Structures are given as structure tokens and as C-alpha cells.
Amino acid sequence: MARNQLFLKSKKQWYLLITYIIFLLDLSGCESDNLSDLTEYITKVKMEPKIAMQPLPKIIKTEHFEFKPNNQRDPFKAIDQYEMLKASNNQSEQNQIKPDIKRPQEELEGFPLESLKMVGTVMSKSNLWGLVKADNGTIYRVQTGNYIGKNYGKIVNISVTKIGILELVSYKPGFWREQPSALMLTE
């Protein structure tokens, strides 16, 4: 048994000796004085014309801005009109102007005001009706008191060249302001 351990120990020594010999042979192969191809390449690269480097672009410093909402709504979240109306009913300090959400909606309230065009007027008895064309191609007849557009716009006057509208625009949850607008005759 001791003889087997001696043999294994000497076998390990043989493997180690062979590894060292191979390593030394590899190192001796790297020793060569023939570096002419390398020196030739280096002189060739050094003789090439130098390329002028462009200066780095100037860094423009931007002004730091920190958003502090101070109980204002987050400008990156969409405004849900139903939630705003609900909030307006819950607030103790409300202004007098607010849309009537219980009344039935009229057809032209389904279109944004920007997509509607005044195309003419019609006189019936002593009433002046406005003709409004929606983006779906349908022409609607409107009169003073009708509602139009997505911002609770109410038609306040009709003339031959324009339809006057008073919209209700929310500027803060529960608070509304009147904003005059108009559709001008286009066709």
C-alpha cells in the first residue's frame, strides 16, 4: 500500500515535470530576434499623414426645474370629466357655474368643436337656424339654446356669418369658467 502511494506521488511528479518542460519549450519559441515585419509596420503607420481632430462640441447647460404641485392636479394624468364633476359636488366651496349633467345630450355634443363647420343658415318663419356640418358629412340644423361640442357648449346667438357659443371649461376640479367660442361660415 505504501508502495502504491509512492508510485502515485512519483507519477504526479512526472506529470508536473512534463508540464514544466512543455511550458519552457513554448517560451523558447517566443524568443526570436526577427521582428522586422513588426518594425516595418510601425514605421509605415508613423509615416501616414496625421488627421486633424475636430474640437468637442460645447455642452449646453440646461436650467434645472423642480415641479412642486402645491395641491394642484398632476399635469401628466388625464382629466376624467366625470371625476371632476363628482369632485365638484363634494367640495364645500363651489362656484355657481357648472354644467347640467342630468339633461339629455344632443347629437352635436358627440363631436369636438374643432371638427364642426358652419355651412350656412336657414330662415324659417322669424327664426334663424344655423347649418352645421360634422366630420362624418352630416349637416345638422341648430338654433339658439342647442348644445354643441365636448365642452358643454351652448349656442347663444346665430347670425348669417357665425354661430356664437359659450363653453364651460374646467380650470380646477369642481370649478368651471365660461369661455366664448364661435363657428364661422366656411362654405
> How many Å from the N-terminal Cα to the C-terminal Cα in the chain?
114
Q: What is the pLDDT of residues 10-61, one digit of tens each?
A: 777 878 888 888 887 777 666 666 778 888 898 998 898 888 888 888 988 8
* Residue 144 predicted with pLDDT over 70: yes
Q: What is the residue extent of each domain of the chain? A: 81-184
Instruction: State mean pLDDT over 148-170.
Output: 92
CATH of 81-184 given 3.40.47.10, 1.25.40.10, 2.30.30.830, 2.60.40.10:
2.30.30.830
pLDDT confidence of residue 147: 94
pLDDT confidence bin for 3, thresholds 50/70/90: low
Q: Over range 123-137, report the average pLDDT.
A: 90
pLDDT band at 73 (very low <50, low <70, confident <90, very high): low
Q: Which residues of 158-177 are buried (b: 16+ CB within 10 A; e: fewer)?
A: beeeebbbbbbebeebbbbe
Helix boundaries (H) for the chain:
2-30, 36-47, 81-90
Question: Whole-angstrom Cα distance, residue 11 to residue 14?
Answer: 5
pLDDT of amino acid 10: 72
Mean local confidence (pLDDT), 135-154:
92
- Which residues make Cβ contacts (< 8 Å) with residue 88, sequence separation at least 6? 94, 98, 173, 174, 175, 176
pLDDT score, position 84: 63
Residue 153 CB: number of other CB atoms within 10 A? 24
Q: What is the pLDDT of residues 78-123, one digit of tens each?
A: 766 656 665 655 554 455 788 888 889 999 999 999 999 999 999 9
Phi–psi pair at 46, nearest 5 degrees = -65, -25
What average pLDDT score do residues 160-172 get? 89
Residue 148 confidence (pLDDT): 94
